[in-house]
Structure 1
Amino acid sequence: MGSKKIVYLDQNKWVEILKAQKSGTDSSLLEAVATLRKAVQSGSVIVPLAAGHYLETWHRSNWESRHDLAQVMRDLSQFSTLAPVQRVQRWEIDLALIYCLGFESGGAEPREIQKKILGRGVNHAFASPTGRLRLVSSVATDDAPEGEPLEPESQLLDLLEKVRALPNDAYEWWSLAGNTNDSMIHKDWDTRGQHRIGETYAMQERALSDHLIVIPGGKGRLDDLIAAQDLAEISEDVNEAAAEIGLDPLNVYGKLVQMGGPEAVKGFLRAMPSVAVRYEARRLKHRNHQWPWQQHDHIDLAALSVAVPYADIVVTERQWAHLFKVAKLDRRFNTRVISRLRDLPKILDD
């Protein structure tokens, strides 16, 4: 992505950096961090945050712990951010309709996505004028799901604009770290909802794994089942994209049937980089029952679905790094995917 290298760090890698800095005993890790910091200061490397980093950092209820971690993130990222997967996916669908299915349209080019991936600040990370604040009519409880999404009122948008204008990136810092002496537990606020959403996601994936075990030929049908799920998940965006270029959405699905049904669907999904990452990761993880689904997998995949195709270096958990290499996604996107921060200096020198 241009002359600057994009280095994406999973949330647990940021935590590793904080622990190393506090202990001062892991010399090889501290050396890697110093090399990365020097590269950021020279302008040769960008270390962006993703929406998941904001969500996971806010899950730290102790404000001092949260601020310690946020300071590390602020200093290295300088509040550079990646666009969220739902926005990137929508851009990619436009191109897949043209280049994979052969529908005609003007103006959509792959390089335009590259230009829009990287931005600055929490509003870019969430593709929202309210940043990480998601407005709903009521927060979820043990007995009821959250209410319907709400559009922000003009007074709120005006207030946020004023806050964004405050000096020293005060709005960006609050969005990542919250306030001093703030436990982040407020009436009518749900600051840790991602864990609940992630656990629901993990339960659904576990149920799929169990289903595949008991049905005849389940493992052989795995790829088709996941492809069908992924197509259903992006169907609203597909319908919208088709309508924007003057297509009846039914023509898209008819073309997929005409081109070979399940195999054409998988080809269509693989034509969209962020969707391809999620599809490959899910199908390969389901093939290995020794890697159970966890609540944080949902947020990991949302960020990695953008990072793997569009960053130059991705430092993630060993499990994900292995799956991406098995799927040859690192080769397809020319992305170095590693699991050890200590390996960064050598790669940055390449």
Structure 2
Amino acid sequence: MARKQAPAYAWPTHLVRPQAGQRLVYLDLNHWISLAKAATGHRTGEIYRPALTAVQEAASSGKYLFPLSLTHYMEMAGIQDPRQRGDIADVMEDLSGFTTLLTNSHIARLEVEAALDRIFSVDSPHIADLNLLGHGIGHTMGMRGGLYIRSATGDVTEEARAAWPDGPESFDAMLADARQHLERSMLRGPADAEVPELTANGWDPTVAKRSAEKRAESERQLAERLDNDPQYWNRLRDVVQGRYISLEIIDTLNKALIDRDKRIEDVVTDKDSIRAFADCMPSADVHTTLVEAAHRNREKSWEPNDVFDIDALSVAVPYCDIVVTERYASHVVNAAHLPQGMQTEVFPRLKDLMEWLDRQ
């Protein structure tokens, strides 16, 4: 069921956004691949060289940031050719500097809190602020900190820094270099020669894809039930929203309600209240819109990459300024007028991004 009007979003006040004057540009992996082809002189990359130059200039200006998401790391792990991973990672490192976006599960928690604050007309001061942007893969998963030196007695980083033979500044440089090497390795993945030893020690690059496959299978099962119960097609958005609440945020919602001495019945009393609650959370709105559109395509076959894409866009569309994704997703979110309400530009091509940058 289509909404009669765009929702008034409950933006999370505890999500710390970038400083004024900086714009976030999110690129889907397929566009990173195109830029890597241009950078390496690939036979099909010449057409993307102007785009590569444009984004390099934009990044070097300091006005534009090109953050990576956890989805990028997951998708990179699925690329089997180490050389291809390395080529893409080089461009990603050059343009992003390993600046990363907080993942959707942590942002969804803050959105739930903001939605409840609006419903109950209270603030949630017990919630700690989280930065939308951070450095490296750890930040994408909500982890704080970096590399430390530990002994049996605990963290001895400061002691090691003070006793470093070449002085504290040399220690800082060594640690920064180690952090950079770690981030580079996480993005590139292992060389073929390193795989046997890593596998023997428990490394498994298929974990993320297998998790996404389970979620894709859940959507396939929903598609089958919809085919068997066609009366739900007129309320497909309601179905998708209900599943989002019950599968994606129910634990977070219950905890937030307990903190407020409230119950689920105080929030969702009927179908209209469910719609209002889900629609006011920006990432939930993007998620619902994309999933609903996919199910309305009766020939759609759900794959793990569909799950990756929806997770990534659920953060990128509300919280970045420019999103360059694939053509179908761009059409869906623009047709639903989500970018206008979120003050985001969503494009399907690098050429569109170039033209937008030229107008700035």
TM-score, normalised to structure 1, is: 0.82
1:253 is aligned to 265
Is this contact kept in 1: 2:113–2:124, CA < 8 A? no
Q: Which moved more, 1:205-214 or 1:172-181?
A: 172-181
**Separation in structure 1 between the aligned mates of residue 321 and residue 272 of structure 2, nearest angstrom:** 30
Deviation at 1:265, TM superposition (A): 0.8
Structure 1 residues 158 and 126: CA distance shift in structure 2, 3 A: farther
Q: How does 1:157-172 map to 2 (within 5 A)?
A: 165-167=175-177, 169-172=180-183
2:3 is aligned to none
1:60 correspondence with 2:85: no
Task: Name the aligned partner's letter for residue 275 of structure 1.
Answer: A
Q: How does 1:131-280 map to 2 (within 5 A)?
A: 165-167=175-177, 169-180=180-191, 181-183=193-195, 186-187=199-200, 188-233=202-247, 234-244=249-259, 246-248=260-262, 250=263, 252-257=264-269, 261-280=270-289
Is this contact kept in 2: 1:96–1:268, CA < 8 A? yes
Task: Name the aligned partner's letter for residue 122 of structure 1.
Answer: I
Identity of aligned residues (%): 30
1:217-238 Cα deviation digits (max 9, x unpaired): 1211322211211111211101
Is this contact kept in 1: 2:34–2:45, CA < 8 A? no
Structure 1 residues 171 and 263: CA distance shift in structure 2, 3 A: same
Is this contact kept in 1: 2:137–2:183, CA < 8 A? yes
1:118 correspondence with 2:133: yes
Is this contact kept in 2: 1:32–1:343, CA < 8 A? no
* Runs (5+) with no aligned partner, structure 1: 132-152
**Separation in structure 2 between the aligned mates of residue 93 and residue 41 of structure 1, nearest angstrom:** 36
Task: Name the aligned partner's letter for residue 96 of structure 2.
Answer: S
Q: Which moved more, 1:14-23 or 1:300-309?
A: 14-23
1:104 aligned counterpart, secondary structure = coil
Deviation at 1:256, TM superposition (A): 2.0
Deviation at 1:290, TM superposition (A): 3.6
The root-mean-square deviation of aligned C-alpha atoms, in Å, is 2.9
Is this contact kept in 2: 1:227–1:279, CA < 8 A? yes
Structure 1 residues 290 and 216: CA distance shift in structure 2, 3 A: closer
For the pair shown, the structure with the greater C-alpha radius of gyration is: 2
May I ask how many residue pairs the two structures share in their alignment? 318
Deviation at 1:193, TM superposition (A): 1.6
2:24 aligned counterpart, secondary structure = strand
TM-score, normalised to structure 2, is: 0.80
**Separation in structure 1 between the aligned mates of residue 48 and residue 282 of structure 2, nearest angstrom:** 31
Q: How does 1:314-329 map to 2 (within 5 A)?
A: 314-329=323-338
1:36 correspondence with 2:45: no
**Separation in structure 1 between the aligned mates of residue 111 and residue 199 of structure 2, nearest angstrom:** 38
Is this contact kept in 1: 2:102–2:141, CA < 8 A? yes
Deviation at 1:82, TM superposition (A): 0.2
Deviation at 1:154, TM superposition (A): 9.3
**Separation in structure 1 between the aligned mates of residue 151 and residue 121 of structure 2, nearest angstrom:** 39
Task: Name the aligned partner's letter for residue 71 of structure 2.
Answer: G
1:198-220 Cα deviation digits (max 9, x unpaired): 22222221221121122141211
1:9-52 Cα deviation digits (max 9, x unpaired): 11111112122333265544210111111110110110000001
